[in-house]
Structure 1
Amino acid sequence: MKNLLRSLRDLFLKPSVRIGLGVLVTGGFIAGVLAWQGFNTAMEATNKEEFCLSCHTMHDNLLPELQKTVHWNNRTGVRARCPDCHVPHDFTDKVARKMQASREVLGQLLGTIDTREKFKEHRIVLAQREWKRFSANGSKECRACHDYKDMDFDKMRPASQVAMRKAAERNQSCVDCHKGVAHQLPEMKGARNPAFDTLVSSAAGQSVDAGKDYFLVVPQELYADEGMTKRIGAIEVATQVKVLETKGDAQRVELALWRKNKGYGRVWYSHFGLNITSAVLDKEVALDASFVKVLDTKEDPMTGLEWQQVTATAWMRKGSVLDSVEPVWSIARASYSSSCSVCHRQPEEAHFDANTWPGLFGGMVSFTSMDDDTARVVLKYLQTHSSDFSTSHGAGSPDSALQTARP
């Protein structure tokens, strides 16, 4: 064994006495060429669409989606293949992307995304990785075919001209506006805005005094009992409550809101006459006169509907309130500005009234990557900063929980 080890050491560390230096150099050169050729051949083979579709996850999930788009079949016959979009054209970036793609291959081998259900569950993660890459490189792969300098803006539809000219001026990444052009958008409900983690952390350290008003930083379930075993409804983010007492992990709070006096009256709103949802109760609880106290009744002159000012107490988990709503609005304001301005200039908050915003926002949010929690808080932010609360319209502060009249 010692002789074998000594021979191996001499082979690698001592100059050869039998093989000439020229032969060694030539052999090394040939070996390097063969290694490079093998590497290049492997790179080319894995860059072909046939290789991509040989994985049944890609073939069964993504190919059918692509085949329904203009990138697969169009009047000019120019088709985008998988590597055209998902493999960088520059060598260094290509190698880096190949290394990153090993995670998807590993996921397939380990069974993480080997079924339709698993693929849909993890799709948001896969999509966000690609969106991040496209945003970082300015959608370089897209612009190999769709470059701003080659576009004839005058031949576009008027609405498209405005958006595309502004995008060209900013040299904007294509993926900012054109997510879902070749594949279906993932379900966003699995996503989470990390900014909310900061709010939750702040709420956990918030000192709470009985009898004072606070604002929810995240939606919460409502319960009838201190042990939180009987659910009676849910309360929305940014809703103002009065904390009455804290026992263990539970807090008893008082809700003072408005509801329409029709149907079951399950949906409670923050302001009279404005559809700004703050809480939703179970039907039996909403109809229980011993639980719900009606303080006042008014008719909305705009709709003729009768509204009731109501109050009730319920239990919820502690550690979810702050003494100011402004941190919540800061996240909503930033999300609205960043997500709703990539395709066009977003409307001012006070451009529409509170009852108009839900329909408009609902039509726009599907074109963004907002998760459900962020979308809900942004909508509430827009409603509470709408023209109904604009100082030019003579309204009061949107933080007032009990507005007695429509502005």
Structure 2
Amino acid sequence: MQFSLFDCRAGVTRPGPRDTEPRVSLFASSKLSAGAGPLCIVRALAVVGLLVAAPMGVVAQTVGDAPINLAYATQSTPIYGDVALKQQIGVMTPGSPISISKDQGSDGQPFSMDGWFQQGNRNVLFLGEGKRIVMASLSGSPAAFQELGETKDEYDTVWVHARIRGFIPPKALTRDQATVWQRAAKLYQSRCSACHAVHKPTEFTANQWPGILKIMAKNAALQPDEVVLITEYLQTHAKP
């Protein structure tokens, strides 16, 4: 059962479009309803305290008892299933957002990553349902896997919302995603303008860019890691 921050009337609301189970809510408009039970009230007070303690617009999250923060891969980075970074299970793409805890292992940084798998294929984790912006390619089982729900896109393809956990080298991370995209934009401008005027990222959709860049990459003599970096940049900033 999932807990929602809003609409706590009798205690249980209808599932949302991406939910697979009822949600227990905490608020109804600006106040709790008369039918809210003691557990609901306790949860509401806890969330209010959390909101007050957190910066404006930011709600702290936790993994267990440890607070987590957003970080981003600076380049194509190996993902491991163990803290010693011995068992590689996949590769994370540049700019991919992950949640990390302050508790770092002896070698690897624990992380969690939320994304979408196409139903029946757990080898590629995408940033959003229906948009094939790759966050991670998996060749092995993550340290933990959790299904969060599912939905269908306009073509009736089923997408599974999931969370994976694993370990990553700490030096491969940055807290500033903009630096990753600045590096990608500079590379794109310098290497892809020799033959023609550079296309703006918004000229094509996220799903169109990989095929287009595949042709351009050969002419620009881009290395595989450079292709991945530029592709992620163009898809992330593509036409909606």
SS of equivalent to 2:198: coil
- The amino acid across from 1:326 in the alignment is A
Runs of 4+ in 1 over 6 A off after TM superposition: none
Correspondence 1:251 to 2:109 = yes
Cα pair 2:84 2:106 within 8 Å, conserved: no
Q: 2:179 aligns with which of 327, 350, 354?
A: 327
Q: How many residues align?
A: 174
CA offsets per residue over residues 223-282 of structure 1, 9 Å max, x none?
A: 2221222222221111111112312221000011111002x3210011221111110112
Correspondence 1:230 to 2:98 = no
User: Residue 63 of structure 2 corresponds to which residue in structure 1?
Assistant: none
- The amino acid across from 1:247 in the alignment is G
The separation in 1 between residues aligned to 2:230 and 2:198, in whole angstroms, is 13
1:6-405 correspondence runs (5 A):
210-244=67-101, 245-262=103-120, 264-282=121-139, 285=141, 291-301=144-154, 303-388=155-240
SS of equivalent to 1:319: helix
- The amino acid across from 2:230 in the alignment is V
Percent identity for Structure 1 against Structure 2: 21
> Which has the larger displacement, 370-379 or 252-261?
370-379
- The amino acid across from 1:385 in the alignment is H
User: Residue 57 of structure 2 corresponds to which residue in structure 1?
Assistant: none
- The amino acid across from 1:297 in the alignment is E
User: Residue 56 of structure 1 corresponds to which residue in structure 2?
Assistant: none
SS of equivalent to 1:313: strand
- The amino acid across from 1:300 in the alignment is D
CA offsets per residue over residues 165-198 of structure 1, 9 Å max, x none?
A: xxxxxxxxxxxxxxxxxxxxxxxxxxxxxxxxxx
Which structure has more strand as a fraction of its residues?
Answer: 2
User: Residue 87 of structure 1 corresponds to which residue in structure 2?
Assistant: none
Deviation at 1:210, TM superposition (A): 4.8
Structure 1 unaligned residues grouped into runs of 5+: 1-208, 389-407
The separation in 2 between residues aligned to 1:210 and 1:233, in whole angstroms, is 25
The separation in 1 between residues aligned to 2:184 and 2:138, in whole angstroms, is 25
- The amino acid across from 2:229 in the alignment is V
- The amino acid across from 2:127 in the alignment is S
SS of equivalent to 1:238: coil
SS of equivalent to 2:68: coil
SS of equivalent to 1:353: coil
Cα pair 2:145 2:163 within 8 Å, conserved: yes
Higher relative contact order (CA 8 A, sep 6+): 2
C-alpha root-mean-square deviation of aligned residues, in Å?
1.7
User: Residue 123 of structure 1 corresponds to which residue in structure 2?
Assistant: none
SS of equivalent to 1:297: strand
The separation in 2 between residues aligned to 1:311 and 1:342, in whole angstroms, is 41
- The amino acid across from 2:78 in the alignment is E
The separation in 2 between residues aligned to 1:315 and 1:338, in whole angstroms, is 34
- The amino acid across from 1:322 in the alignment is T
Deviation at 1:350, TM superposition (A): 0.2
- The amino acid across from 1:233 in the alignment is G
> Which has the larger displacement, 348-357 or 311-320?
311-320
SS of equivalent to 1:310: strand
- The amino acid across from 2:69 in the alignment is K
The separation in 2 between residues aligned to 1:223 and 1:335, in whole angstroms, is 28
Cα pair 2:147 2:162 within 8 Å, conserved: yes
SS of equivalent to 1:376: helix
SS of equivalent to 2:104: strand
Structure 2 unaligned residues grouped into runs of 5+: 1-65
